[in-house]
Amino acid sequence: MNGRAALAVLAGAVLIGLAPIGVRLSDIPPVATNLWRFLFALPILALLAARGKRGEPRDVRLLLIAGVFFALELSLWATSLTKTTVANATLLTNMTPIFAALFGWLLLKERIAPGVLLGGAVALAGAVLLAIGRSRAGQGPASAGEGWLGDMIATGSALGYAAYLLMLRSIGSRVGVGGVMLWASLSGAAVTFALALMLGDALLPHSVRGWLILIGLGVVTQVGGQGLIAFGVGRLPILVSTVLLWMQPLAAAVLSWIIFGEALGPIAFLGAALILAGLFVVQGARAAPAEAKA
């Protein structure tokens, strides 16, 4: 089973790595693109939810609130893709474990292990180097000044995803994977629709290719990628999952290099390595107490 779980996480991470490419190539703005990502996923998620644990009404309410944070995270991340490189946006968004540990300390009174502090410091240093490397190379779809803004927005999206995951923790195993994804995606669709209207975004793509990209984001990325990851992560040690999930930013970085010419220079490459190393240390520190209790 561990072999199947590892393969599922690996495949899911690669599919998620396609998401920033799809957002960048979409005919419509980022927030509107995420709206369709949710909408095309909903029918499939409804079928999956009908076959799994449904939970109590309070669980559904919590999932709907969690979906708001999920939508805000995706909207911030997608917006950052219009101002910084795909690699920067994806790597900085994946700093979620650091902020999850911080939220756990502030809200749940969980102790922060020394390893979390060390790993967080290493990852944050890597984030600064990654931004400096991008700035010096003059890469990204926007100016150098907006590139820094894009990096900050991507980091902010990690905060939103940490809040989303923290809320899911309180549900535990009371709701199946399909139900979790369905209710969170339902409220996520409502939030992104409201945001798209507020921003005056065009909602309909103007080409067949544009529609195919939106369908791919909904079915392949939202359902396939997230579903495979949800299946595998619950069956693997946290450190193994962490390493396998690195395929997401790595796949995004390679594809952005090939498609958009956004290669990582020496400074940015060092920053990326430090981020991944810091996340590995953080996950290891957070896994140790769980193993001690088991």
What pTM does this model have? 0.80
Average pLDDT, the chain: 83
Torsion of CA 139, 21, 79, 265, to 10 degrees: -20
Count of residues for the chain? 294
- How many C-beta atoms surround the C-beta of residue 278 within 10 A? 24
User: Which residue range is the domain that position 160 belongs to?
Assistant: 2-293
192 pLDDT tier (thresholds 50, 70, 90): very high
**Whole-number pLDDT of residue 139:** 66
- Total number of domains constituting the chain: 1
Higher pLDDT, 57 or 55: 57
One-letter amino acid at 35 equals: L
Q: What is the mean pLDDT of residues 105-112?
A: 73
48 pLDDT tier (thresholds 50, 70, 90): confident
**Whole-number pLDDT of residue 144:** 59
Q: What CA–CA distances, in Å, run from 104 to 37, 70, 114, 242?
A: 30, 18, 15, 19
Q: What is the mean pLDDT of residues 118-136?
A: 83
Residue 290 has pLDDT above 60, yes or no: no
Residue 157 has pLDDT above 60, yes or no: yes
38 pLDDT tier (thresholds 50, 70, 90): very high
216 pLDDT tier (thresholds 50, 70, 90): very high
Question: Where does 108-246 have alpha helices with state H?
Answer: 114-137, 144-169, 177-199, 208-216, 226-233, 238-245
What percentage of the chain's residues is helix, strand, coil (to nearest 5)? 80, 0, 20
Residue 75 has pLDDT above 50, yes or no: yes
Q: What is the mean pLDDT of residues 140-153?
A: 75
Residue 187 has pLDDT above 90, yes or no: yes
Residue 291 has pLDDT above 80, yes or no: no
Residue 166 has pLDDT above 70, yes or no: yes
> Closest Cα to residue 166, out of 246, 70, 237, 240?
70
21 pLDDT tier (thresholds 50, 70, 90): very high
